[in-house]
Amino acid sequence: MRDIWQRLPTRGKTFCLAALAAAIAAPLVADRYLLSVLILVFYFAYLGQAWNLLMGFAGQLSLGHALYLGLGAYTATALWTLFGIGPWIGVFIAIPVAAAAGMIVGWLGWRFAIEGVYFALLTIAFAEFTRIGFDHLQITGASAGLFLSVNSPGSDKWWNLGGGPLLYYYLALILAAAATLLVAWLRRSPLGYRWLAVREDPEAAQAAGIDIFRAKMIAMLISASMTAVGGVFYGFYYRNLFPSQVFDIGRSIEIIMAPIIGGLGTVFGPIVGAILLTPLGESLTALMQHFGINTPGAKSIFYGLTLMVIITLQPSGVWPWLARKLGLDRPRA
């Protein structure tokens, strides 16, 4: 951990500390609406880190991360509504559930040498399969959805992940910061190097003694587990779950936006992407509401166009470019 910190250039250290301080102090000045936007920023930064681990570092394109998000969300909320098991315990059941799903997808894909586009399609297929399954799963309310009651005893207490926006704000902040630290640490770990090797050239990686199947499976395990935690947050923050929303391919695409815009395979890319994208999308919605235009698709059109523009003009993302401009990138020794 100390090693990571020391590797940052001085300006980077200042910048990180200032950003963290600002994030901690933000609730003093931010109103409820701004806070809700910031919650989304951290939430997407967090999920982006999880996905980026698999795609950006290990080079495996998953377009079905909604599967792990949904499984995490459904496991924890169902445990709460059905058995009264609180989310702080539920999360430790949600993680293995999603991780097991990830292992199945990874095992099927990589054992049978399903790669690239095919692998991406396999991940979509699993997410869709599960979505339809949950649409018919009576115990979690099927397609009519699963709702967290606000009236049951103790549901508004922090230990049950209930309460005001401040709770969710700091929780999302901690998740995003912890995920960033974890990713930064993994990047400099032997595992991180192995992932990069697998991403760059699997055959050469094998010749360097790397068990590529194992490396990919570990990436999937961590990525799916992290995403499941995000799902628990999602479930208790929104307090209602519909299979058609949480398992939707649109949800998977939402997850991949921030790291792609910010910069695939970089530690700060997902954060930068989330900071750029979420407020833009939100202000677009606000602006349209202000002018009385009620168009559900407009925000998605904006996201779609942004994806196309970024991938055409700046496929390595905004962060590498921005870091150079601000003199924050690591000096090349």
Site of interaction with other proteins (CB under 8 A) = 55, 61, 63, 108-109, 112-114, 116-118, 120-122, 124-126, 128-129, 132-133, 135-136, 143, 188-190, 193-194, 196-197, 200-201, 203-212, 249-250, 253, 256, 260, 295-298, 300-301, 303-308, 311-312, 315, 332-333
Using DSSP, state whether 146 is helix, strand or coil. Answer: strand
Note whether 239 and 147 are within 8 A (CB).
yes
Q: How far apart are the first and last CA of the chain?
A: 21
Rounded to a whole number of angstroms, the minimum distance from the CB of residue 138 to other proteins is 13
Rounded to a whole number of angstroms, the minimum distance from the CB of residue 106 to other proteins is 13
Using DSSP, state whether 77 is helix, strand or coil. Answer: helix
Q: Which is nearer to other proteins, 30 or 124 (CB)?
A: 124
Q: Which is nearer to other proteins, 120 or 267 (CB)?
A: 120
Helices (H) and strands (E) in the chain, counts: 15, 2
Residue type for 238, please?
Y
Rounded to a whole number of angstroms, the minimum distance from the CB of residue 165 to other proteins is 29
The dihedral built from the CA positions of residue 10, 11, 16 and 21, taken in this order, carries a sign that is positive
Q: Which is nearer to other proteins, 285 or 300 (CB)?
A: 300
What's 58's DSSP letter? T
Token couple for 74: 């459904």
Q: Which is nearer to other proteins, 209 or 292 (CB)?
A: 209
CB count in 10 Å sphere of residue 301: 11
Give dist(CA 196, CA 28) in Å, integer. Answer: 41
Note whether 149 and 81 are within 8 A (CB).
yes
Q: Which is nearer to other proteins, 29 or 313 (CB)?
A: 313
Rounded to a whole number of angstroms, the minimum distance from the CB of residue 127 to other proteins is 9
Q: Which is nearer to other proteins, 153 or 209 (CB)?
A: 209
Rounded to a whole number of angstroms, the minimum distance from the CB of residue 214 to other proteins is 9
Name the β-bridge partners of 147: 240
Rounded to a whole number of angstroms, the minimum distance from the CB of residue 42 to other proteins is 23
